[in-house]
């Protein structure tokens, strides 16, 4: 019990709560898109985040909540995350939660590749092999004739690309920004950009009939990201990164409970390969940072 009360133990618990929240968000999204316009759901998810973050942080930060040295960064970051969410919402309309989540878990490795290209970060041979291993896992999940093979695979492919650029940009500039300010602007930018589309697709009857699901989307998205921020405030990325892959287990469980979907044998193998390569990539980061400190 003493470990879980420590900063690192608390950070691990918080990161697992965050991944559970994201799995619940994806599950609720897949269900809500059956009876409400996707663009309307997206707008509400980001508007909820902006309003709740303002309500929680303005009494603490006052005007500093709006202070940012990189307004263009905040706009670009918000637009990238909005595009990521859009791909997620549309993708979950057509793909099972577990397989979709497993493919999205390639993002950290793709971000590593992009950082190597754009930021000239060195990538070891072991990382290249782990990335290749993750790609093989995806091919097992999306093989022709499998449960998820089809045109809808374009959504997770685009999502991994935009979310990887989002992570690279965040990594490059995060030291200049208050994380709660960034969280607020992420919701605000997403809500502003989605407003014209939300008005065009607005369905008052759907909102009145199913408003708890709108609240659920806003809550799980906002709460998950807040837990993520608090987790990284308590422990380092190298400690927490392996635990991000618990989202695959949570997503598989939610897909079974909510939609009675169980991945087939080949998909299970692919999910295991993706998770193994991702955890291996995270553990390699731990080893490299430990070696530098010594």
Hunting for tokens 């607005």 — which residue is that? 202
Domain boundaries, the chain: 2-293
Percent of the chain residues past pLDDT 70, beyond the cut? 85
Q: Is 207 helix (H, G, I), strand (E, B) or coil?
A: helix
Using CA atoms in the order 73, 79, 81, 87, what is the torsion angle rounded to 10 degrees? -160
pLDDT at 38: 93
pLDDT at 206: 93
Mean pLDDT on 160-164: 86
What is the reported pTM? 0.84
In terms of phi and psi (left: phi > 0; alpha: psi -120 to 50; beta: otherwise), the region of 143 is beta
More confident residue, 117 or 263: 263
Mean pLDDT on 212-239: 86
Res. 252: pLDDT tops 80: yes
pLDDT band with cut points at 50, 70 and 90 for residue 104: confident
Mean pLDDT on 245-266: 87
Res. 51: pLDDT tops 80: yes
Mean pLDDT on 66-94: 90
More confident residue, 78 or 145: 78
Query: For 174-207, what is each residue's pLDDT tens digit?
Result: 567 788 898 899 999 999 999 999 999 999 999 9
**29-38, 215-224, 248-257, 270-279: lowest mean pLDDT where?**
270-279
Mean pLDDT on 157-183: 79
Res. 54: pLDDT tops 90: yes
Res. 294: pLDDT tops 60: no
pLDDT band with cut points at 50, 70 and 90 for residue 173: low
pLDDT at 146: 57
Res. 108: pLDDT tops 80: no
Q: Which of 58, 20, 15, 16 is nearest to 219 (CA)?
A: 20
Res. 209: pLDDT tops 70: yes
CA angle (41, 54, 243) in 5-degree steps:
70
């Amino acid at each position: 019990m003493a470990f879980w009360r420590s900063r690192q133990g608390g950070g691990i618990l918080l990161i697992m709560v965050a991944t559970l929240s994201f799995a619940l968000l994806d599950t609720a999204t897949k269900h809500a898109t059956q009876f409400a316009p996707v663009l309307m759901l997206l707008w509400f998810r980001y508007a909820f985040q902006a309003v709740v973050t303002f309500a929680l942080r303005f009494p603490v930060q006052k005007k500093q909540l709006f202070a940012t040295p990189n307004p263009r960064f905040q706009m670009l970051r918000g637009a990238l995350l909005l595009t990521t969410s859009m791909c997620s919402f549309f993708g979950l309309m057509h793909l099972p939660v577990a397989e979709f989540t497993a493919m999205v878990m390639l993002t950290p490795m793709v971000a590593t590749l992009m950082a190597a290209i754009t930021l000239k970060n060195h990538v070891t041979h072991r990382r290249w092999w782990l990335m290749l291993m993750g790609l093989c896992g995806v091919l097992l999940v999306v093989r022709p004739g499998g449960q998820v093979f089809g045109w809808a695979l374009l959504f997770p492919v685009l999502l991994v690309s935009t979310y990887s650029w989002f992570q690279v940009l965040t990594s490059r500039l995060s030291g200049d920004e208050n994380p709660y300010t960034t969280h607020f602007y992420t919701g605000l930018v997403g809500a502003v950009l989605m407003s014209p589309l939300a008005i065009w697709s607005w369905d008052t009857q759907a909102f009145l009939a199913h408003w708890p699901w709108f609240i659920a989307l806003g809550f799980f998205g906002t709460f998950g990201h807040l837990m993520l921020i608090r987790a990284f405030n308590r422990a380092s990325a190298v400690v927490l990164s392996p635990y991000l892959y618990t989202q695959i287990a949570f997503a598989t469980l939610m897909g079974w409970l909510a939609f009675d979907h169980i991945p087939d044998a080949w998909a299970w193998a692919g999910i295991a390969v993706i998770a193994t390569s991702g955890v291996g990539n995270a553990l390699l980061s731990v080893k490299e940072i430990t070696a530098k400190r010594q």
